[in-house]
Amino acid sequence: MLSGKHFIVTAGPTHEPIDPVRYIANRSSGRQGFAIAGALAAMGARVTLVAGPVTLLTPEGVTRINVETAIEMRDAVFAALPADAAVMVAAVADWRVEASGQKIKKGDGAPVLTLVENPDILAALAKAPQRPRLLIGFAAETEKVVEHAVAKRARKNVDWIVANDVSGDVMGGASNAVHIVTARGVESWERLPKDEVAGRLARRIAESLT
């Protein structure tokens, strides 16, 4: 059904170094993104999976590019263009640190970390000359999930936002309940195993593109 089409999928967290042994990260396991990449490949798509630092097995038929930081992820995504669609599942760190070249030692007090805003990969892709025909972002929220997702879709200028409530055990867990926000409105799905969410989303994507 998706033969001849190229998809970019991002998955997992990013790790932003503080020093050679410490980093800023989040709880994303990468499971949902990997499942989506696998589901798209199973439907015949050529899939480039840009994966943050996770230990998951690469889905069958998927080309995997491993990255660590947000900047590395951005560069890998743009290097993979052109694509018919991009599904940006990764939980990219909003901030990075001006990292120390040496391990920070304990002193008289806590070190001062200077935060620098990371690139907004999703927004940049929406403005790119090679913008994918279908651009899907993910929104991990802890409150006002649909409200924030609707606002994010407009702000980022993307086609769909897939939103979920991560205040429980979704990050790192095996199941997910999502809301699909499009120009037509909001569709809320019941909590399902992440593989089933991926399969259902892949079918929706295929219908949209064909």
Residue in the structure block whose two tokens are 């980093």: 23
Grouping H, G, I as helix, E, B as strand and the rest as coil, residue 149 is: helix
Taking the C-alpha atoms of residue 87 and residue 98, their distance in angstroms, rounded to an integer, is: 29
Taking the C-alpha atoms of residue 37 and residue 137, their distance in angstroms, rounded to an integer, is: 14
Residue 135 β-bridge partners: 86
Catalytic residue ranges: 26
Grouping H, G, I as helix, E, B as strand and the rest as coil, residue 22 is: strand
DSSP secondary structure of 49-110: EEE-S--PPPPTTEEEEE--SHHHHHHHHHHH---SEEEE--B--SEEE---SSPPPP-SSP
Q: Of 132, 164, 180, whose CA–CA distance to 8 is shortest? A: 132
Taking the C-alpha atoms of residue 161 and residue 67, their distance in angstroms, rounded to an integer, is: 23
